[in-house]
Amino acid sequence: MEYRPLGKTGLTVSVAGLGCGGNSRLGLGRGASVDDCVAIVRTAVDLGVNFLDTAEAYGTEEIVGAAARSYDRDKLVISTKAIFNTSDTAETVTRKVEASLKRLGLDYVDVFHFHAVSPAAYEHHRDVLAPALVRVKEQGKVRHVGITETSPNDPEQKTLARAIQEAPWEVTMLAYSLMNQGARHKIFPETQRQGIGTLLMFVVRNIFSNAAYRHDIFAKLVEQGELDASILSDGDPLAFVVGEGGAESITDAAYRYARHTQGVDVVLFGTGNKAHVKSNVDSILRPPLAPTIVERLHASFGHLKGVGLDRPGPVKVANR
Ligand SMILES: NC(=O)c1ccc[n+]([C@@H]2O[C@H](COP(=O)([O-])OP(=O)(O)OC[C@H]3O[C@@H](n4cnc5c(N)ncnc54)[C@H](OP(=O)(O)O)[C@@H]3O)[C@@H](O)[C@H]2O)c1
């Protein structure tokens, strides 16, 4: 495994982080047993993954806590989150942090994030809720303060564009992929300047793990005039990323593209499949894609916004 600093937090994190949410939720999403989900976490940790991301909304905090008990707590970096709305108060923050710690069975979490903060709710989070989270941090129950965007509702990344300029955010979780490259110019230069840690989500999701769905997305982009129709003329429009000097698969390419973008600290991968844990860690540790492929990805898709940011749950694929 490779490790790097998470912004200026002082934490050292694995470049591959296990996402315990998304569609898979460690396998809970398709009915796996708690023991099987714990085994997914342990498989990742045994491969050197030390960053684990969970959330109240995922229903996986107990699983992460159970898996964590087999390891030295200091060797793991555990991040959780909770969703707040604009009627919530400082008291709600304290209560939700305590509830997460209880479910995890831990004395502290390394990062506590405000989860999926919309641009309209941002000021309430910054002015009313964040001071409460900072007080909880002073008590040692939370080591660092984080904020995550609500990608499907904020494809322009308006929440983050503000958050990366302001206190008290130390870590941020954002969507980035080879077809959703906005953060490359808009977010990463500033997070690097400010020393804010970056955790990537939506690196693969459905678009790079489901070929039929990907075809539908490309067809829609052609229909909208975002891509030229010729892109659909010769099999999978992303086939050029695979092969000589390229990747082993489209999923492999998606993880490697994200991992080697300047300013990225942790690439989160979500899965309920042990074999995928291993292949995703392998992908994230492989070298960058060939420069010619990266240039083509930038030239072909650099103008797109919000592609591949589907909500959790099964995606619909057109009958063809
Ligand atoms: N803050 C937020 O609002 C937010 C939103 C989204 C995600 N997140 C975080 O980011 C994490 C990662 O996002 P994500 O869960 O959407 O994960 P992801 O890594 O982008 O994609 C996961 C999807 O790809 C499949 N997959 C994974 N590895 C594969 C492989 N090697 N080959 C083929 N298919 C593969 C998974 O299914 P299998 O189970 O079959 O592997 C799953 O359907 C989440 O778990 C969560 O921690 C946060």
Return contacts of 93-98, CB within 8 angstroms, 24+ apart. Answer: 93/129, 93/132, 93/133, 93/136, 94/132, 94/135, 94/136, 96/56, 97/133, 97/136, 97/141, 97/142, 98/141
Nearest Cα neighbor of 20 from 49, 198, 7 is 49
For residue 317, what pLDDT is reported?
79
Contact yes or no for 283/241 (Cβ under 8 A): no
For residue 246, what pLDDT is reported?
81
- Please state the length of the chain: 320
Does the CB atom of residue 160 touch ligand 1 within 6 A? no
The pLDDT of 75-83, averaged and rounded, is: 98
Chain-centroid distance of CA 288 in Å reads: 19
| Residue reference for tokens 């965007």 | 149
Nearest Cα neighbor of 266 from 110, 60, 141, 97 is 110
Distances (CA, A) of 45 to 27, 39, 137, 241: 16, 10, 26, 29
pLDDT band (50, 70, 90) for residue 163: very high
For residue 37, what pLDDT is reported?
98
84 contacts: CB under 8 Å, gap ≥ 6:
92, 93, 96, 114, 115, 121, 124, 125, 129
pLDDT reading at 320 higher than 80: no
298-318 per-residue burial string, b: 16 or more CB within 10 A, e: under 16: eebbeebebbbbbebeebeee
For residue 220, what pLDDT is reported?
96
The pLDDT of 141-167, averaged and rounded, is: 97
Amino acid at 301: F
> For residue 21, which atom of ligand 1 is closest to its CA?
45
Which residue has the least CA distance to atom 30 on ligand 1? Answer: 276
272 Cα to the center of ligand 1, angstroms: 9
Ligand 1 mutation pick, 118, 267, 269, max ligand atoms within 8 A of CB:
269
> For residue 252, which atom of ligand 1 is closest to its CA?
31
For residue 123, what pLDDT is reported?
98
For residue 312, what pLDDT is reported?
81
The pLDDT of 79-90, averaged and rounded, is: 98
pLDDT reading at 214 higher than 60: yes
Q: How far apart are CA 79 and CA 144, in angstroms?
A: 9
For residue 119, what pLDDT is reported?
98
| Residue reference for tokens 């994230």 | 284
Does the CB atom of residue 309 touch ligand 1 within 6 A? no
pLDDT band (50, 70, 90) for residue 193: very high
24 Cα to the center of ligand 1, angstroms: 7
pLDDT reading at 319 higher than 60: no
Angle subtended by helix axes 90-104 and 61-68, to nearest 10: 50
pLDDT band (50, 70, 90) for residue 140: very high
Distances (CA, A) of 309 to 103, 124, 134: 29, 25, 30
> For residue 30, which atom of ligand 1 is closest to its CA?
39
Amino acid at 167: A
The pLDDT of 154-180, averaged and rounded, is: 97
pLDDT reading at 318 higher than 90: no
Which residue has the least CA distance to atom 19 on ligand 1? Answer: 269
Contact yes or no for 262/192 (Cβ under 8 A): yes
> For residue 199, which atom of ligand 1 is closest to its CA?
10
The pLDDT of 208-219, averaged and rounded, is: 95
Amino acid at 299: A
Which residue has the least CA distance to atom 33 on ligand 1? Answer: 209
For residue 313, what pLDDT is reported?
78
Q: How far apart are CA 286 and CA 29, in angstroms?
A: 29
202 Cα to the center of ligand 1, angstroms: 7
Nearest Cα neighbor of 18 from 289, 283, 272 is 272
Q: What is the mean pLDDT of the chain?
A: 96
233 contacts: CB under 8 Å, gap ≥ 6:
none
Does the CB atom of residue 202 touch ligand 1 within 6 A? yes
Does the CB atom of residue 159 touch ligand 1 within 6 A? no
Q: Which of 64-78, 188-202, 232-246, 306-320 has the lowest mean pLDDT?
A: 306-320
pLDDT reading at 130 higher than 60: yes
pLDDT band (50, 70, 90) for residue 291: very high
Q: Quote the DSSP letter at residue 98.
A: H
Domains of the chain and CATH, by start: 11-205+262-285 (3.20.20.100)
Instruction: Give Rg (Cα) of the chain.
Output: 19
The overall pTM is greater than 0.75:
yes
306: region left, alpha or beta (phi > 0 left; psi from -120 to 50 alpha)? left
Does the CB atom of residue 308 touch ligand 1 within 6 A? no
